[in-house]
Amino acid sequence: MTGAPGSHPSQGPAVDAYVSLGSNLGDREAHLAAAIEALRARPGIRVTSPSKIYETAPLGPPPQGPYLNAVVRLRTQLSPHELLACLLEIEVAQGRQRSAGRWTARTLDLDLLFYGSLVLDEPGLCVPHPQLHERAFVLVPLCDVAPRLVHPLLGKTVEELAQNVRDPGAVVAFRVNSSARIPEKANQ
Ligand code: A4P
Ligand code: MG
């Protein structure tokens, strides 16, 4: 679960947080859908807005297949560390293996992009995510759910960041089939 062994998720004030989802191994769509369902099932998390799904050219040197990427907005009472622990746990449940090195293909990657307007730079957790403003595969789906959100360090909206990002053409809307799409409804 989240937090230290034996601890309970905190019941602090609710905060809007944004999480990016990426997959380029196995049934990519199913991994994204399972991640959303797992987030919905967690006490202390309410998924309020999933973005559309995009197919994106892989960033990084190892040869690998295209990704599916998406972003979700959450309303959460978990602390940022509890939320990150929860994301890492969901990745493992979807078969994520970390031994292969940086930027390699993965079944599921969940990154915490923003946690309210918190700015944190610790060895295990950096928020806002340090590369989000350079990545079209993050900014394009983030624009679906929070175009006016202001980056607390850069002072620019997500929409402004997306307008200036390199290679936005490498991110295209994915044609979602009816059996494995991200559910649109917000959980209450
Ligand atoms: N960590 C610190 N801050 C955060 C945060 N805000 N969110 C720590 C999530 N994790 C954070 O993560 C390593 C550690 O970072 C975590 O244990 C956590 O404590 P990881 O998931 O094992 O590493 P990673 O995400 O694979 O990092 P890496 O290798 O730097 O990958 P990137 O930079 O995330 O890039 N191309 C496309 N088109 N789409 C993609 O989604 N993704 C990657 C991965 C490469 N190319 C891609 C895509
Ligand atoms: Mg990650």
**What is the C-alpha separation between 69 and 59, in angstroms, rounded?**
12
In a domain, 8, yes or no: no
pTM tops 0.85, yes or no: yes
Pocket test for ligand 1, best of 109, 127, 139 (most atoms within 8 A of CB): 109
Low-confidence ranges of the chain (pLDDT < 50): 1-6, 178-180, 186-188
What pLDDT does residue 8 have? 58
What pLDDT does residue 188 have? 34
Is the CB of 126 within 6 Å of ligand 1? yes
Quick check: is 96 catalytic? Answer: yes
Quick check: is 135 catalytic? Answer: no
In a domain, 23, yes or no: yes
> Could you identify the atom of ligand 1 that is nearest to the CA of residue 69?
41
What pLDDT does residue 100 have? 57
- Here the CATH number for the domain that contains residue 92 is 3.30.70.560
**CA–centroid distance, residue 186 to ligand 1 (Å):** 26
152-162: pLDDT as tens digits: 999 999 999 99
The identity of residue 55, as a single letter, is: E
Of 130, 153, 133, nearest to 142 by C-alpha is: 133
In a domain, 182, yes or no: no
Q: How many CB atoms lie within 10 A of CB 105?
A: 17
Per-residue tokens: 67: 């990704």
Domain count, the chain: 1
**CA–centroid distance, residue 110 to ligand 2 (Å):** 5
What range defines the domain where residue 165 resides? 15-173
25-48: pLDDT as tens digits: 999 999 999 999 999 999 999 999
